[in-house]
């Protein structure tokens, strides 16, 4: 496998301005740190799983990479070019190499267009001169690839089930033969058996097309199944990044440990006797994050130094980094 | 984990669906509309009225401005509706044939309504969609302009316009058209704001579809439902406004006429036993308005079934 990374994200930061009600027009808006100082790299054929609870910046990270939300600082290096520095029109050629799959399968398809038109849209946008027969052939080809019958081409999104809609979304993402697909919680809205089908489909396609994937989810068992690397986010900060197996075998950050202990085990005896690490309290406000370590307000190991000093995100083993003063 | 079996899925899908065109949302809507009896009947009646206003003149004995000197001044005795005299709907006080005049009034009133609504829909949709899609400061300024225009008492301005610049159909159009797009633009803007954050718009933007194509291909087709409904409800509103202006004596000019003007004349002579002068134009007016409202209702139910 080619180990040259195709995507490198360095110190990415995304802030949102939040103006509360009753603010005067001249009051300075508060900053909400949605994504704070995130770095990772991804090679072809690899999958990065991103996990974390709601509101921890998973989707914002994905949208910042494709420039749907403006980044405050940092770099997104795609095959040697920093995407964030490019203008709107300069970004366009790169758009065909990075595609996205969305959480709500039905909402991501235009209800007034039929399936053929929806799947062909990226092709027609980037190669407007493609002859109609070629477009049709490509659409049929990609529909077969994702396990859809090509005679469904003239049907409309509302005539399909959630799983089929997600396949249509995948077909649309594949038609330009991209190098990276960002999956923003692609299976959260589907039921479990369909989840398995879609995840397996993605893995098959990844192998076949040497795709890189960024797979966002909050279901750890799904992420474990598909990912080569896993990144755990908390309040917009990276807390742990390691190979999939390492993170399950030896989670080092207290937050990761708690997350993994919460994954249900499909064996009642084991499930009954396992130690569940409970996290107390709520997610702190990202407008006013805790000083020092962001997790300290809910951490069992928290000590004085945690409030004073932000833990450095440092490697503790090969391909295993963690941000904690007292990691295991 | 369940492994997706492609072959199995294929056969399952084959059992479920024959190839062929799918049901688009428009087809669905048409079916629901046809199932709505009141709306279908209304559409039929309205089409008959329109057809009548074009075919009717061929059966007329008198033109709409011709005066029957026999009936002039004695409409109550001579000018009653009769087939023999050729005055199917009777005459007015001046001896003019009411049948021809009602046809003429129908043409003018419907034209004012449809053209006025068309202008309002086009201007309102473009203005609202632009404002909503661009958002931010542009949106703020564009919507404040609408607010200011809306705060002007519109009937008052319309009357002033007609008094100052003289009575004419053109002036009436400008006056009505200028003000009736305001509601439209607000509705469209709201819908656009709603659509703008839908995932399929985001999907198009990630793919790199241009803003213009996003508006024309993704936003406008999804707005059409609401626009169509509002337009059918706007037509009777404009007809009513025109009738009100004509009733005040400021609308279309003699010898042309409209429903409002005819109703006004008919109402003025009601005490001289010439009730047909009121009843014929009034019947057309009321029936048409009912039809428009029923059709609008039917369209609304057909186009967004979730809202019921």
Q: Please give, rounded to a whole number of angstroms, the shortest distance from the CA of A161 to a CA of chain B.
A: 12
Touching check for B221 and chain A: CB below 8 Å? yes
Instruction: Give chain B positions within 8 Å (CB) of A169.
Output: 203
The DSSP bridge pattern shows strands A229-234 and A47-51 to be parallel
The shortest CB-CB distance from A201 to any of B4, B19, B198 is to B4
End-to-end CA distance of chain B: 41
Q: Choose among B202, B80, B194, B79: nearest CA to B128.
A: B194
Region for B267 from its dihedrals, namely left if φ exceeds 0, alpha if ψ lies in -120 to 50, beta otherwise: alpha
The shortest CB-CB distance from B200 to any of A99, A108, A201 is to A108
Rounded CA-CA distance A87/A75 in Å is: 14
In a domain, A103, yes or no: no
Note whether A147 contacts B204, CB cutoff 8 Å: no
What pLDDT digit, counting tens, does each position of B254-299 carry?
777 888 888 888 877 777 777 787 888 888 888 988 898 888 888 8
In a domain, A117, yes or no: yes
Are A324 and A254 in contact by the 8 Å Cβ rule? The answer is: yes
In a domain, A41, yes or no: no
- Return the pLDDT at B305: 55
Touching check for A146 and chain B: CB below 8 Å? no
Note whether B199 contacts A104, CB cutoff 8 Å: yes
- Beta-ladder partners of A32: A16
Best residue in A96, A115, A156, A201 to probe B by mutation, most B CBs within 10 Å?
A: A156
- Residue A122: domain span: 112-177
Are A233 and A217 in contact by the 8 Å Cβ rule? The answer is: no
In a domain, A162, yes or no: yes
Q: What are phi and psi of B274, to 5 degrees?
A: -120, 55
Q: Is B91 helix (H, G, I), strand (E, B) or coil?
A: strand
Q: Is B58 helix (H, G, I), strand (E, B) or coil?
A: helix
Note whether A91 contacts B208, CB cutoff 8 Å: yes
ipTM: 0.83
Does the pLDDT at position B12 exceed 60?
no
- Return the pLDDT at A73: 85
Touching check for B213 and chain A: CB below 8 Å? yes
In a domain, A291, yes or no: no
| B17 → chain A, closest CA residue | A152
How many domains does chain A fold into? 1
Tokens matching residue B77: 């005795």
**Which of A6-20, B27-41, B261-275 has the weakest average pLDDT?**
B261-275
Q: What are phi and psi of B91, to 5 degrees?
A: -125, 165
Does the pLDDT at position A29 exceed 80?
no
Rounded CA-CA distance A302/A170 in Å is: 43
Q: Which residues of A173-191 are buried (b: 16+ CB within 10 A; e: fewer)?
A: bbbbebbbbbbbbbbebbe
For every residue of B224-263, DSSP letters joined together read HHHHHHHHHHHHHHHHHHHHHHHHTT-SSPTTS--HHHHH
DSSP A312: P
CB pairs under 8 A between A and B: 107
Touching check for A29 and chain B: CB below 8 Å? no
End-to-end CA distance of chain A: 32
Rounded CA-CA distance A203/A298 in Å is: 36
Touching check for A97 and chain B: CB below 8 Å? no
pTM listed for this prediction: 0.75
Rounded CA-CA distance B42/B233 in Å is: 13
Class of the domain covering B27-65+102-307: mainly alpha
Note whether A108 contacts B13, CB cutoff 8 Å: no
> Taking the domains of chain B in order of start, what are their residue ranges?
27-65+102-307
In a domain, A129, yes or no: yes
Does the pLDDT at position A2 exceed 80?
no
């Amino acid at each position: 496998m080619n180990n040259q990374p195709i995507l490198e994200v360095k110190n990415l930061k995304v802030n949102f301005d939040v103006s509360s009600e009753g603010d005067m027009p001249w009051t300075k808006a508060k900053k909400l740190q949605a994504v704070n100082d995130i770095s990772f790299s991804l090679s072809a054929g690899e999958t990065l799983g991103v996990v974390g609870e709601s509101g921890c910046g998973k989707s914002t990270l994905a949208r910042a990479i494709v420039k749907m939300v403006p980044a405050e600082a940092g770099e997104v290096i795609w095959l040697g070019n920093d995407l964030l520095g490019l203008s709107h029109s300069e970004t366009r050629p790169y758009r065909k190499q990075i595609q996205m799959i969305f959480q709500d399968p039905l909402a991501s398809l235009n209800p007034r267009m039929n399936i053929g038109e929806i799947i062909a849209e990226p092709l027609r946008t980037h190669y407007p001169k493609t002859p109609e027969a070629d477009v049709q052939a490509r659409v049929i080809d990609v529909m077969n690839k994702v396990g859809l019958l090509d005679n469904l081409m003239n049907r409309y999104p509302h005539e399909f089930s959630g799983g089929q809609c997600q396949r249509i979304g995948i077909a649309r993402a594949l038609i330009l033969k991209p190098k990276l697909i960002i999956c923003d919680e692609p299976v959260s809205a589907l039921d479990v058996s369909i989840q398995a089908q879609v995840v397996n489909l993605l893995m098959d396609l990844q192998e076949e097309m040497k795709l890189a994937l960024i797979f966002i989810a909050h279901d750890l068992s799904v992420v474990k199944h598909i990912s080569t690397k896993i990144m755990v986010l908390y309040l917009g900060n990276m807390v742990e990044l390691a190979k999939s197996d390492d993170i399950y075998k030896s989670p080092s950050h207290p937050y990761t440990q708690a997350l993994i202990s919460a994954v249900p085990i499909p064996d009642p005896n084991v499930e009954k006797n396992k130690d569940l690490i409970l996290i107390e309290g709520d997610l702190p406000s990202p407008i006013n994050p805790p000083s020092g370590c962001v997790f300290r307000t809910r951490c069992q190991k928290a000590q004085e130094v945690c409030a004073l000093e932000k833990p450095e995100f440092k490697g503790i083993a090969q391909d295993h980094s963690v941000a904690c003063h007292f990691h295991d | 984990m369940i492994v997706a079996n492609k072959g199995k899925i294929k056969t399952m899908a084959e059992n479920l669906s024959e190839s062929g065109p799918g049901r688009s949302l428009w087809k669905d809507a048409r079916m629901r509309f046809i199932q709505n009896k009141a709306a279908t009947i209304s559409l039929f009646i309205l089409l008959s009225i329109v057809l009548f206003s074009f075919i009717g003149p061929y059966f007329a004995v008198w033109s709409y401005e011709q005066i029957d000197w026999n009936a002039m001044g004695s409409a109550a005795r001579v000018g009653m509706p009769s087939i023999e005299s050729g005055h199917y709907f009777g005459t007015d006080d001046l001896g003019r044939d009411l049948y021809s005049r009602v046809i003429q009034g129908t043409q003018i009133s419907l034209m004012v309504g449809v053209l006025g609504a068309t202008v309002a829909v086009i201007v309102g949709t473009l203005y609202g969609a632009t404002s909503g899609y661009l958002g931010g400061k542009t949106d703020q300024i564009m919507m404040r302009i609408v607010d200011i225009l809306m705060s002007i008492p519109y009937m008052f301005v319309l009357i002033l316009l007609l008094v100052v610049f003289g009575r004419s159909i053109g002036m009436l159009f400008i006056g009505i058209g200028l003000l009736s797009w305001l509601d439209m633009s607000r509705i469209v803007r709201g819908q656009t704001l709603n659509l703008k954050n839908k995932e399929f718009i985001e999907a198009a933007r990630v793919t790199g579809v241009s803003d213009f194509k996003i508006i024309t291909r993704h936003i406008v087709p999804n707005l059409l439902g609401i626009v169509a409904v509002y337009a059918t409800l706007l037509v009777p509103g404009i007809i009513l406004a025109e009738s009100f202006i004509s009733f005040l004596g400021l609308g279309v000019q003699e010898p042309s006429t409209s429903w409002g003007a005819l109703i006004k004349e008919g109402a003025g002579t009601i005490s001289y036993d010439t009730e047909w002068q009121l009843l014929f134009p009034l019947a057309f007016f009321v029936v048409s308005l009912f039809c428009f409202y029923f059709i609008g209702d039917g369209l609304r139910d057909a186009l967004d079934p979730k809202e019921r």
